[in-house]
Amino acid sequence: MTDLSSTAVVVVNYGSHELLETNLVPVSPDAESPRIVVVDNATTPTERAAVVSLANTHGWLTVLPETNLGFGAGVNRGVRAAIEAGARTFVILNPDATIAPDQLAALVARVEADPMALVSPLIVDGADNPVFYGYRVDLTDGATRSPRATLIAGHRHAEWLTGACFALSRQLWDATGGLAEDYFLYWEDVDFSLRVLAAGGTLLNDTSIAARHLEGGTQRPDSTTSPDSSSPKTQPPGRSPGGRRRRAPRQRHSAAYYYWNVRNRLLLGTRWARREELARWVRRTPQESWRILLRGGRRQILTHPTTTLVPAVRGAIDGLRLVHRERFTR
């Protein structure tokens, strides 16, 4: 049986204490469970009080920044707190994800067997359908592709693991230096996977272990700076057969989702693409930005252009500025 006494589960929260109660409490059912560290990125006094109350009830360690640090900086703060508390293995878990205690123990066991491996489980949805089992980023043109896709000859490909749930040792954490903090949201997990490989580590997507991720549970469709969330689609505007006016469809992802996803793809390029490859990243930006927009469906682009299309365009512009500033003005 794996000893979890030196393991910490680190969760970065943003306005989602209800999810912590639903998803995190089952992860640590007794005194033999791992330590829980909750980093509560600042939202409202009411949310902060709710998180602190939950932590006091369940014995969680809290890190309480006065601002919204973003995901990468939040994880780094949480891991530092876990190290100070004596943890040697860390499991990073989204607030809208959960993992059964036996699956958590199996995940930690894989890390203990190979301390230089970043280990991720199979990610399933609420109906236990697989939704993530590893992915690839094409470092030659900045495209993301399924691991089942055919490799393009002459291109540099790298796999990456999702930040929804992954585990690693103190040894690997020290070798990588932690997560990059200037992404704020999205693509930190891609960057971190590449940093693991650059540090001599390996990536392991163990599909015999599963974690459940109700994607989008932390999202806020009207937000431009917060983690975003999906909401169920409703019927399009118009009138129902009974004559009642239908509600306009709600937006699946927030403005923040589109902005940071589009921007940070190009930020990743400044870090990992070769100088001669960046032109391909730039040329592919409209295609990849459109793919990101389509994750929420075509209809919401028409019904909510100011919080879908506009932030995507802003993200592309800011990302292109990063490319120019970081790689061509030095």
Whether 217 shows a pLDDT value over 60: the answer reads: no
List phi, psi (to 5°) of 222: -100, 5
Looking up tokens 């299309």, which residue turns up? 309
Whether 60 shows a pLDDT value over 90: the answer reads: yes
Q: Long-range contacts made by residues 169-174, C-beta under 8 angstroms, separation at least 24?
A: 169/88, 169/89, 169/90, 169/111, 169/112, 169/115, 169/116, 170/83, 170/87, 170/88, 170/89, 170/90, 171/115, 171/116, 172/115, 172/116, 172/117, 172/118, 172/196, 172/199, 172/201, 173/79, 173/90
Whether 237 shows a pLDDT value over 70: the answer reads: no
Question: What confidence tens digit (pLDDT) does each residue in 293-307 have?
Answer: 999 889 989 999 999
| Strand partners of residue 92 | 10, 166
Rg (CA), the chain: 20
pLDDT of residue 328: 65
Question: What confidence tens digit (pLDDT) does each residue in 112-170 have?
Answer: 999 999 999 999 998 889 888 778 999 999 998 887 888 899 999 999 999 999 999 99
Whether 175 shows a pLDDT value over 70: the answer reads: yes
Whether 35 shows a pLDDT value over 50: the answer reads: yes
| CA-CA-CA-CA dihedral for 47, 53, 55, 59, to nearest 10 | 180
Q: Return d(Cα 91, Cα 7) in angstroms, integer.
A: 7
Which of 49, 63, 69, 51 is closest to 8 using CA atoms?
Answer: 63
Whether 243 shows a pLDDT value over 50: the answer reads: no
Q: Is 129 helix (H, G, I), strand (E, B) or coil?
A: coil
At residue 245 the predicted structure's pLDDT band, cuts being 50, 70 and 90, is: very low
Beta pairing, strands 35-40 & 61-63: parallel
CATH number at 7-213: 3.90.550.10
Residues of the chain with CATH 3.90.550.10: 7-213
Q: Are 60 and 82 in contact (CB under 8 A)?
A: no
- Across residues 31-60, what is the average pLDDT? 93
Q: Are 265 and 142 in contact (CB under 8 A)?
A: yes
* Inter-axis angle of helices 255-272 and 309-328, nearest 10: 20
Q: How many CA atoms lie within 13 A of 85 on its CB side?
A: 23
Q: Return d(Cα 103, Cα 288) in angstroms, integer.
A: 35
